[in-house]
Amino acid sequence: MKRRDFLAGGAACTLAAISGKASAQSGPLTKIIFPFAAGGGGDALCRVLAQYMSQPLDRNIIVENRTGGDGLIGIKAAKAANPDGTTILVTTGPTMYLLPMVETQPTFDTAKDFVPVSQLVRFEFCVVAGPAVDAKDFTQFVAWLKANPDKATFGVPSNGTIPHFTGSRLEEVLGIKMTRVAYRGGAPIMNDLIGGHLPFAIVTLTDAIPQHRAGGVKVLAVTSAERSPFLEVPTLKEYGIDLVADAWYGMWLPAGASPAFAKQVSEAAATALAKPEVREKLLAIGLIPVGSTPEGLTRELAANTAFWQPIVKATGYKITN
């Protein structure tokens, strides 16, 4: 089975309003390796950080898109890099904790191969229904599922992602067998929802909001711990579903990098993310600035790993490599 996209959201975001170049500095040239293509929300995040972290770190920072293997090529490049502070990895949290779970022969160990720097931003997922579902809210949706078990089919942006395993968890909690259909991204899912060819889906909130506001689909619940700042819709927890499933971008250095430098980079990232103009730019594309210490990133990764590992294991899903 081929590797699938672990980005899970944000790939269609526009960069025009937020890309920028780092100003010339006296320190060594530093590159941020981003293991996905240019043109998405994560790439935009990297370019903003390159711009705003350049001065406090006293160095030029560039962004290098090392695509392939749905994130693995860039991760391996960062893993093999000299730990001298001139290479930084920025990728999604799910990439760093789900890939080692689902690969038959894991090619990296996040804890051993990387030094944590910071959790950067988070983004959200949602349960969204098309006109084929007769439900005004999540409670009515569950009733519809129970009354129409033969129609309990949902779309996800790809297999092996947070939406994939969120669906598996919902099946378990609700006690309803559902059929998962993997797409190549959120856009074709939205088209099938609107056309009535797909009853419901689990996608990034960013993908769903435009059509929700236009009336083509209805966001029934968000999977984050709290209500989204982008849309006033209840969380799954508010409906009694013990499930929090959002995602985030984090920053790492290659193993062997100085903890003192990791702290310095973390502080520079947190300062950048706290700037009003940076927050405004990121919120505009559905990214919620967070910023954390290296210890905070370690705790977040451990919590996510502990939560998802039994869920992923129960599905039996594996990528052959």
The tens digit of pLDDT for each residue in 284-306 reads 888 999 999 999 999 999 999 99
Average pLDDT along the chain: 89
Give the whole-angstrom CA distance, residue 103 versus residue 184: 20
pLDDT tens column, 27-53: 688 999 999 888 778 999 999 999 999
Which of 196, 194, 145, 135 shows the shortest CA–CA distance to 167?
145
Min mean pLDDT across 35-44, 81-90, 244-253 is at: 35-44
Residue ranges of the domains in the chain? 29-122+248-315, 124-239
Cα atoms in the 13 Å half-sphere on the side-chain side of 59 = 18
pLDDT(17) > 70: no
The residue with greater pLDDT, 227 or 22, is: 227
Q: What is the pLDDT of residue 38?
A: 86
Instruction: Specify whether the backbone of 85 is left (phi greater than 0), alpha (psi in -120 to 50) or beta.
Output: left
The C-alpha atoms of residue 90 and residue 86 are separated, in whole angstroms, by 13
pLDDT given for residue 187 in this prediction: 86
Say yes or no to pLDDT of 55 above 70.
yes
At residue 3, does pLDDT exceed 80?
Answer: no
Q: In residues, how long is the chain?
A: 321
Does the pLDDT value for residue 279 go beyond 70? Answer: yes
Higher pLDDT, 113 or 13: 113
Domain 124-239 in the same topology as domain 29-122+248-315 = yes
Which of 68-77, 90-99, 226-235 is least confident? 68-77
Q: How confident is residue 71, by pLDDT bands cut at 50, 70 and 90?
A: confident
Where is 219: in which H helix or E strand? strand 218-222
User: Superfamily for 29-122+248-315?
Assistant: Bordetella uptake gene, domain 1 (3.40.190.150)
Indicate the class that CATH gives domain 124-239: alpha beta
pLDDT higher than threshold 90 for residue 100: yes
Q: How confident is the model at residue 280 (pLDDT cuts 50, 70, 90)?
A: very high
Q: Answer yes or no: is pLDDT of 151 > 60.
A: yes
User: Mean per-residue pLDDT for 62-87?
Assistant: 92
Residue 20 vs residue 37, higher pLDDT: 37
Comparing 319 with 2, which gets the higher pLDDT?
319
